[in-house]
Amino acid sequence: MNLTNNMYSLEEREKDEAFVKDLAAATGQPDLFEDIDPHLWRSVDEEVIKKMTYDYDDDDSDDSTGGVIFKVRNLEVKDSTTQHRLNLEVASEMIQQNKTSKARALVADTPDFRHDPDKLEREGLMWKETGLKKGDLSEEGMEFVSWKMVRGYPEMFVGKANGARTKDMFTLEGLHKNRIWDVYYLHQPKEIHPKPGLFVPTYQFQHLLDTINARLEINLTIPPGKNTSKFKLVFGEGNTPRPRFLGRTFTADGFKMFTGLVPRPKPEDDPSLGTEEGQAKLKSVLKMIANSHKKTEKSKKNAFKRFQDHRQWGRSLKRTQRYLGLRKKKSDGAAAESPVVRFVAIDLEAWEQNLDVITEVGIAILDTSDLKNSTPGKNGRNWFDAIKARHIHVAENRCFENYRYVQSCPENFDFGQTELIFGHDVPNIMRSIINNSPHPVVLVFHESKADIKFLKTINYNIYEAKNVIELVDTKYLHQYAIRSGNQPSVGTVCDYLEIHTKNLHNAGNDAVYTLQAMIGLAVKQREESLKRARGEGSQAAQIRQHHVPFAEMDEKEGWTSSGEDSDGGPPVRPAEFEMDWSPLPPRDDAAADGGW
């Protein structure tokens, strides 16, 4: 390639390279162009050029190229709805065989490679009349796309960046801006949907994409692979019904009006009149459309739940900071002190061959009264010494040890002496620590659902403890801290906070590390929050290191919780039916949260 490069001037080389770059972008197949010398587009026999180009009609001809124009934006696979588009398969074949072409010279005669968006919009208002009256059958072999697929296209097939830019263009009003649609209807079998399906010609949808691409300089396409068939539906196989013409719509209001006036089905619209094979094909197509729509709705619901979860995790973090005295309640004065709470972190180990057999219970306790007059230090390390820990080895189950998935180590408790206690006595110990606490209690878990279930197995129910004001889960605090959906272990969270760990899967050790992780996350995130408020902060780089760019953490994903204007709100007391992190109903009086 270097030898070829030396044959041309710098200006020629730059033009050739820009041309191939445009080709790669236009075809959507950049891999085809990776090893292609851009200067090989300068000569090829005329027959290849003819196969790769098309003749415009009289209005679009260009005398400067003898009526043959090669445009980058027209590099698309030839299909029945776009009769005169360049055949990409031929282009790809030529490129892969490393043939040369005079196409580069022809392009040089064409000053603008892009479609004119204004011209395309004018075309969208000038479709040739169908010649059909309301209720007339569509032509055989005509390709359609469901109106549901048109409306759902950006959510199903457009990425986040372009999806935001195109969102307004796929509203009912946006779809009718400078555009008309020929709308067809098809009465569906009752088991598919009681209402008729609405369809528009595929070529009109393709023209919409072309117009958006020209206007926004992006490259929306009918998706490749198995999804292509959803946008190129052909009806009538095996004597089954074809769509009937409903009318031409110019405005959103007009669309709403006449799509509500679909004629009643005619006798020949009965799918059962078709062959068995034709009926099966028709039902398959209609189910495919229905299921695609359902997936979109499910995606919306899942996105909303993720949004809610992320917001709740952020608020939980802020409330934790309040309990630790790291953040003031909005109504507190500068000199107000945070009320004292007791944090109780709990971890249980169950036998891997029978999860109803609880082998160890770990408990770590921190009363915030023990933190007065002390600073947290880096990631809260100065406060770790105030943690009191207990490790219970359940006496009747001490013969059961884990080794298949994790290696248990009940004899390696590093924060005190292991206690050998029978299982029926454990609930009383839990009540003495939690239910009889001199202070309101905040329970701390890592993966709370599993440990709460294990506690029930040994006959202790956290929901009966009336003095528990909050449940904190370090798994969610860590996910919020790094803006990630990945589910971390206790060890992973501690690594993030530079907390040294050993003998994990000892319940006592894990309870201590869980409480240390909660403190570390609260302190670290508070420091970052204050830095951001001052216009500083390094968290962006740290978050990028943990998979999610900071620039993507915007409000719509729920990764924010109102900054310094929020204190996390009132405590969210754990309730058995609220383990999805939904908040309690709002309270009217400011004092209802008892100062929390």
Q: 594 versus 393: which is more confidently predicted?
A: 393
Residue 510 lies in a domain: yes
* Confidence (pTM): 0.52
Q: Which domain holds residue 134?
A: 121-298
| pLDDT of 139 over the 90 cut | yes
Q: Which of 91-100, 123-132, 343-352 has the highest mean pLDDT?
A: 343-352
Give residue-wise pLDDT tens across range 43-54: 444 444 444 443
Residues 106 and 132 in one domain: no
Instruction: Report yes or no on 317 lying in a domain.
Output: no
Pairing mode, strands 388-394 and 354-367: antiparallel
Number of other CB atoms surrounding residue 170 within 10 Å: 18
pLDDT at 74: 38
> Could you tell me if 242 and 390 lie in one domain?
no
Distances in whole angstroms, Cα of residue 422 to Cα of each of 184, 419, 429: 74, 10, 11
User: What 3-state class would DSSP assign to 303?
Assistant: helix
Last residue of a domain, one of 114, 142, 175: 114
Q: Give the residue among 346, 305, 347, 341 at the shortest CA–CA distance from 320.
A: 341
Judge whether 476 and 449 are in contact, CB under 8 Å: no
- Is the model more confident about 117 or about 425? 425
Asked if 107 and 128 sit in the same domain, the reply is: no
Handedness of CA 100, 103, 109, 115 (dihedral sign): negative
Residues 13 and 51 grouped into a single domain = yes
Structural domain contains residue 588:
no
592 falls within a domain: no
Comparison of pLDDT for 294 and 498, the residue scoring more: 498
Residue 593 belongs to some domain of the structure: no
Could you give the percent of the chain with pLDDT greater than 70?
Answer: 71
The CATH number for 530's domain is 3.30.420.10
pLDDT confidence of 368, banded at 50, 70, 90? very high
Domain boundary among 53, 79, 114: 114
Partners of 360 in the β-ladder = 349, 393
Q: What is the mean pLDDT of residues 439-468?
A: 94
Burial (CB count <10 Å: 0-12, 13-18, 19+), residue 544: middle
213 and 163 together in one domain: yes
Which of 424-433, 459-468, 587-596 comes out lowest in average pLDDT? 587-596
**The pLDDT of residue 121:** 84
The reply to whether 348 and 245 lie within a common domain is no
51 inside domain: yes
* Number of domains composing the chain: 3
> Looking at the structure, do residues 151 and 101 belong to the same domain, yes or no?
no
- Would the pLDDT of 109 be above 60? no
Q: Write down which residue in 278, 298, 318 finishes a domain.
A: 298
Find the range with the poorest average confidence among 10-14, 21-25, 33-37, 591-595: 591-595
pLDDT: which is higher, 164 or 38: 164
Where b means 16+ CB within 10 Å and e means fewer, 287-297 reads: ebbbebbeebe
Mean pLDDT: which of 106-120, 280-294, 528-542 is highest? 280-294
What element of type H or E holds 296? helix 276-323
Give CA–CA dist 85/71, Å, rounded: 10
Query: What mean pLDDT value characterizes the chain?
Result: 78
Residue 171 lies in a domain: yes
Q: Are residues 147 and 92 in the same domain?
A: no
pLDDT score of 76 more than 60: no
For residue 346, what pLDDT is reported? 97
Residue 82, pLDDT score: 38
Q: Which residue has the higher pLDDT, 581 or 527?
A: 527
Kindly indicate the confidence band of residue 258, based on its pLDDT and cuts at 50, 70 and 90: confident
- Same domain assignment for residues 99 and 139: no
**Who contacts 555 (Cβ-Cβ below 8 Å, separation ≥6)?**
none
CA-CA-CA-CA torsion sign (586, 306, 461, 492): negative
The pLDDT of residue 191 is 85
Assess whether 513 and 479 both reside in one domain: yes
- 393 and 432 in one domain? yes
Query: How many angstroms separate the CA atoms of 240 and 516, rounded?
Result: 68
Same domain, 13 and 38: yes
Domain contains 332? no
Residue 87: which H helix or E strand, with range?
strand 86-87
Is pLDDT at 202 greater than 60 in this prediction? Answer: yes
User: Is 309 strand, coil or helix?
Assistant: helix
